[in-house]
Structure formats: structure tokens, C-alpha cells
Amino acid sequence: QVQLVESGGGLVQPGGSLRLSCAASGSIFGIYTMGWYHQAPGKQRELVALITSGGNTNYADSVKGRFTISRVNAKNTVYLQMNSLKPEDTGVYYCYLSYLRDYWGQGTQVTVSS
């Protein structure tokens, strides 16, 4: 079993920055993908960014140039640096890990508002 624990959400003004972290624990061995998804109020969960064990990344068009995903394999931890935040970035951010099956964190709230 794998557990994901997110941190780093909060309230920020438009144009501001936040850094999300997600630590994975449990029986994880070898190659796996981690990432972040975003669920805005009243909308479906959508991909934000993914990163493989080898460091290959994939971003949603809406966040390219503003968000950066990174990971530290030795710590089973993934980060999401979010810059130039917009009100439409508001919502719950879920950590994601793919290892034999999909795993999800409990989510962390990000609110971008003046």
C-alpha cells in the first residue's frame, strides 16, 4: 500500500507563488510516475503536471511557463512550484502516483484571490 501526503496549499494573491509538496510512503520500488491534478470548484479533476522517475515532464497548456514540477527520488517526494498564480488556479490540488495502480493524496486547497 502507498500513502501520499500533500502540503503547501493556502491563500495567495494573483501573481503570487506557492510550492506544493507530496511525500509518498509505503511499498514503492523502481520506476513510477508522480504528478499533480487540479480540481476547480464545480469542475472535473484535470492534469496539471507529471514527472517520471527519469525526470521527463508533461504539463497542461494552461500552466506551461508558470508551474514547475520536480522530484527527489531518494525521498519519494514530488514538488510543484507555482508562480504567476491566477484566480482560475484556485481549487484542490491532488498528488498522484502511478505504481502498479493509481494512488491519490487527500488534496490540498489553493485559493488565489485578492
Digit-coded pLDDT (tens) for 34-47: 999 999 999 999 99
Q: In this model, does residue 30 exceed pLDDT 90?
A: no
If you average pLDDT over every residue of the chain, what do you get?
Answer: 95
Quick check: helix, strand or coil at residue 47? strand
Quick check: helix, strand or coil at residue 71? strand
Which residues, 6+ apart, have CB-to-CB distance to 101 below 8 Å? none
